Structure 1
Amino acid sequence: MEPLNLDIELLRQFQSLLIVLGIGLLLGLEREQAYQLKEGKHLFAGIRTFPIVAVLGYLGVFMGAALSVWAFFGVLMGVFTIVAISFLRAQSTVSGTTTEFSLILVFVLGGMVQLGHAYLSVGIAIAVTALLTLKIRLHNLAGALSKEEFLSILQFLLVTALVLPLLPDQNIGPYGFFNAYKTGLILSIFLTLNFAGYFLSRFFAERSTFLTGVLGGLASSTATAWYFSRRVGEGKGSGSREAGAVVLASSIMFPRLLVWPALLNWTLFLALAPPILALGLIGVLISAYLFRTAQQETLSAPPERGNPLNFREAAVFALIYTAIQLGVGYASTHLGDTGVYWAAAVSGFADVDAITVSMSEYGNGQQRLDVAAVATVLAAFSNTLVKYGFCLAFGNSTMRKKSTLGFGVMLVAALGYAFWML
């Protein structure tokens, strides 16, 4: 029996054609559904026209490459002319130009698939479809924003998307304590928490504290502790939910620590996984208890409309972080090579990710592996101690009491593991 000979290039072209049809059907289906909700509106292009135009874009680029670039421009001008004529004929019954621009976009996406950018085309099609589908919600959101909130969004994007990437990532000063990029990153994380917390409380009042705690645990649990403790100290929260959010963020930090060992030192990962996951689980259970006991409390009022960013508070936090970095540099330099545990504990006051990376590279061999495991747990212990200190120093009596329950158990468990390993 002779083997079946398949033309690989033909199969690829067939696959690309299916992708083009899928892109056209996706956008066409959305437009068809949108116009079914509008009585008396003329459907300019729908579930049949969009796939056809997508195929025209695909074939236009193909003909431009195989024959002449003028063949592509001929197809392009033909599509543009039909779009313009159809729009002018139905101008009295059509509101807006979204469908026309979507049709032109689908033509371009079809051409991109022919050029080998299928994944990018599919991604753009999905993103545009999501924007079109969420039209009403986006309009409602725009109407709900005040002028001050909109300006805050622009300021936030300016700092995080434009200024931060331009900062130099280089250690300077005594002990290399100051790094403009890392300090800017810490400031951006704090602004992000402030920003997210403000809008979550605006639109998800009953779950805003919990969601901010989760986001904070993924970004920076230390900044989360500072953020909530300062809010409670200013009378903007009861203290119970905020304590639960801080404990939750700290609990998420523990499994997050396992990412670097998993990438750099699998043996260390296996050694760290049981105690680290146990500490995280303890914290999650306690935070769940704190949130549950706080359910019957009266929710704090949503924030007044205004500036959701607090640059002054973020700058204070960044300065404290920089001061801690200076202390860490001094301790690491003067304690010597025998102070691995001390260096890890002191480093944890500022950042646990850096010491985790260092210990992942350091912990080769059984003796060093044990040292690296204990040092990582000690760093997590000291970092947790800092967050507990924020709650004690800036929170109210309720937050102090609730956070003592959560952090007390985690700190005792971490110290117990460290002494057992020693």
Structure 2
Amino acid sequence: MGDIELFQRLALAIAIGAVVGVERHWRERDIPLGQRTAGIRTFALMGLFGGIAALIERELASDGRPAGIVLATFFAVLTSAVTLLRYRETAERGGVFSVTSVVAVMLTYALGAVAVLGNVQIASSGGVVLLTVLASREFFHKAMRKLRWAELRSAVILLALTFVLLPILPSEPIGPYGGISPARTLMLVILLASISFGGYIAVRMLGSARGEVAAGAVGGIVAATAVAVNNARRSKLEDADTALAAGAIASSAVALVRTGVLVATLAPVIVPLLIPALGGAALVMAAYAALLARKGEQDHAGKAPKNPFELDSVIKMALLLVAITFFAKAASQMFGDAGLFIVSALSGLADVDAATVTVTGMMDRLSPATGAEAIGLAMLTNMIAKAVYGSLLGSRRFSLHVWIASLAATAVAATLYFAMA
């Protein structure tokens, strides 16, 4: 490590302490001078302290590998001293002892040491994360006051599925025709649960219709079909079918835009044929979703959302989509490239991305018109499939709105496509 790099790393350690100190100083800006616990200067020195401790550790290392004795000793002394001083100050003021500033000092010291001895990207990212957490105190306090048991339970289940069960499941497909991956199946369950939980939180924060539209739009980036299935199921359980339909239609609008981005990236040659149709359909979907959102906010104003998700229902919906995907894979292997349109249509029953990626990868042996028609067929099948899922799983009003939006978007897309062909 050269002198220039060393000074740069020490400067980073000081900068990490300074930015944390800005937030701490701002918190205590109304306290008279001389009575503040720690501010910009103190935290900047804490970052420098961590960097200097790392330098001492490095210089004392006999084989070039620091043992960590100096860092650990300084860390223990610093933590003890700051804790005692903070406790005494709190006792003198008659307030409640808070450990936040103590932990902030500990982390500033540690990040200063990492900046000198370790990865500078990790150190700088850690400083930003620390500043973000400290600056979000009001948000976290407000969220905890509003937190309900149903929300906490749902979050715990979601975390357990993601970080406990998912890592131990095999990812290799099992069964014929390419098989079904247990890990991918669980990922679909997690995705459905996340969409449901995200929608619940969005409704709590933004209101019924606006929250469902926001959640649907975000879900449409990942899996619009999953959003449609999930909202259809909920429409029979909750008295918010208009808002849920708005969310499902918004997810379809985002999915159309996402497909257009994929096409433009992977196969620019078919952009003139397909993008106008996709854009027109997306505009129709978005306009209808906005109209429903306004109406849904009036119809369901003041109604609290229900349980974020019921795991058994989520699993059933995931298994339904997995079964559809399996049959699409089987048809793909049975018909081969000669059945491109059949395979695209069958793939559209569950997802459009697979058909889009497959077709754009074959453009070296397909004409632009054939490629555009195959992707368009997958999109058409997907929109109709989501409407059918709404009829089978959702309420009558939910199904009606989805059908109207799907048919209107299809008509506009078809008109624009044939006009450009």
TM-score > 0.5, shorter chain as reference = yes
Paired AA for residue 97 in structure 1: V
Q: 1:222 is matched with which residue: 221, 225, 233?
A: 225
Deviates more, 1:72-81 or 1:16-25: 72-81
Q: What is residue 45 of structure 2 aligned with on the other side? A: 52
Report which stretch shifted further, 201-210 or 106-115.
201-210
Q: Which residue is equivalent to 1:317?
A: 317
Kept after mapping to 2: 8 A contact 1:177/1:325: no
Q: One-letter code of the match for 1:61?
A: A
Q: Which amino acid aligns with 1:389?
A: V
C-alpha distance in structure 2 between counterparts of 1:412 and 1:124, whole Å: 51
Counterpart of 2:305, as a letter, is: P
Are 1:18 and 2:11 matched, yes or no? yes
Q: 1:88 to 1:173 in 2, by over 3 A?
A: closer
Q: What is the match of residue 197 of structure 1?
A: 199
Change (3 A) 1:417 1:84: closer
Q: Distance in 1 between matches of 2:112 and 2:73?
A: 16
CA distance in 2, matches of 1:400, 1:235: 14
One-letter amino acid of the structure 2 residue matched with residue 65 of structure 1: R
Which piece of structure 1 moves more, 40-49 or 354-363? 40-49
- Over residues 47-69 of structure 1, what are the superposed CA-to-partner deviations in whole Å (9 max), with x where a residue is unaligned? 11100110121122123223455
When structure 1 is superposed on structure 2, of 325-334 and 349-358 the one drifting more is 325-334
**CA distance in structure 2 between the partners assigned to 1:296 and 1:40 by the alignment:** 52
Cα–Cα, structure 1 residues 62 and 295, in superposed 2: closer, same or farther, change >3 Å?
A: same
Residue ranges of structure 1 left out of the alignment (5+ in a row): 1-7
SS in structure 2 at match of 1:174: coil
Instruction: Report whether the alignment pairs 1:66 with 2:59.
Output: yes
Structure 2 segments unaligned to the other structure (5+ residues)? none
Pairing of 1:329-408 with structure 2 (within 5 A): 329-365=329-365, 367-408=366-407
Amino acid in structure 1 at the alignment position of 2:199: G
Sort the Cα spacing of 1:102 and 1:352 in 2 relative to 1 into closer, same or farther, 3 A: same
Inter-partner Cα distance in structure 2 for 1:72 and 1:326: 56
Aligned residues: 411
Is the contact between residue 198 and residue 215 of structure 2 (CA under 8 Å) also seen in structure 1? yes
Q: CA deviation at 1:81?
A: 5.8
Seq. identity, %: 24
Aligned counterparts of 1:232 and 1:73: Cα–Cα separation in 2:
57
Do the aligned partners of 1:378 and 1:414 also contact (CA within 8 Å) in 2?
Answer: no
Q: Which residue identity does 1:51 align to in structure 2?
A: A
CA distance in 1, matches of 2:87, 2:216: 53
Q: 1:412 & 1:343 partners in 2: Cα distance?
A: 23
Instruction: Summarize the alignment of residues 292-311 of structure 1 with structure 2, pairs less than 5 Å apart.
Output: 292-299=294-301, 301-304=303-306, 307-311=307-311
Confirm or deny that 1:211 pairs with 2:214: yes
What is the alpha-carbon distance in structure 1 between the residues aligned to residue 337 and residue 74 of structure 2? 72
Confirm or deny: 8 A CA contact 1:221 1:250 kept in the other structure. Answer: yes
Letter in 1 for 2:36: L
Query: Is the 1:236–1:300 Cα contact (8 Å) retained in structure 2?
Result: no
Task: Give yes or no for contact 1:381–1:415 (8 Å, CA) kept in 2.
Answer: no
List per-residue Cα deviations over 1:18-48 (Å, max 9, x = no partner): 3322211111121222234679995322211
CA distance in 1: counterparts of 2:164 and 2:72, whole angstroms: 37
CA drift of 1:302 comes to 0.9
The alpha-carbon distance between structure 1 residues 149 and 73, as it changes in their structure 2 partners (threshold 3 A), is closer
C-alpha distance in structure 1 between counterparts of 2:272 and 2:167, whole Å: 35
After superposition, give the CA deviation of every residue in 1:370-418 in whole Å (9 maximum; x if it has no partner): 3222211111111111111122333334333332331112222444567
Check conservation: 1:251, 1:280, Cα contact below 8 A: yes
Q: Could you report, residue by residue, the CA deviation over 1:218-255 in whole angstroms, capped at 9, with x for unpaired residues?
A: 22211111122222223421x33322221110010012
Contact 1:348 1:382 in 2 (8 A): yes
1:284 — aligned with what? 286
Cα distance, 1:110 vs. partner? 1.0
Tell me by how many angstroms 1:133 deviates: 2.2
Mean alpha-carbon deviation: is it higher for 401-410 or for 101-110? 401-410
Distance 1:403 1:81 in 2: 62
Q: 1:167 to 1:368 in 2, by over 3 A?
A: farther
Q: Is the 8 A contact 1:53 1:79 kept in 2?
A: no
Residue 217 of structure 1 aligns to which amino acid in structure 2?
G
CA contact (8 A) 1:240 1:294 kept: yes
Alpha-carbon deviation of 1:119? 2.2
Cα deviation, residue 346, structure 1 = 0.9
Counterpart pick for 1:232 among 225, 231, 235: 235
Q: 1:73 and 1:246 mapped to 2: Cα distance?
A: 54
Distance of 2:302 and 2:72 partners within structure 1:
61
1:131 is matched with: 133
**CA distances 1:137-184 after superposition (whole Å, capped 9, x unpaired):** 323322332334323211110112332233322232232342212221
Q: Quick one: structure 1 residues 392 and 309, their matched pair in 2 at CA, closer, same or farther if it must change by over 3 Å?
A: closer
SS in 2 for 1:171: coil
Q: Does the CA contact (< 8 Å) of 2:246 and 2:292 recur in 1?
A: yes
**3-state DSSP class of the match of 2:361?**
helix
- Post-superposition offset of 1:100: 1.6
TM (norm. structure 1) is 0.86
Q: What is the CA–CA distance in structure 2 between the aligned matches of 1:258 and 1:172, rounded to whole Å? A: 33
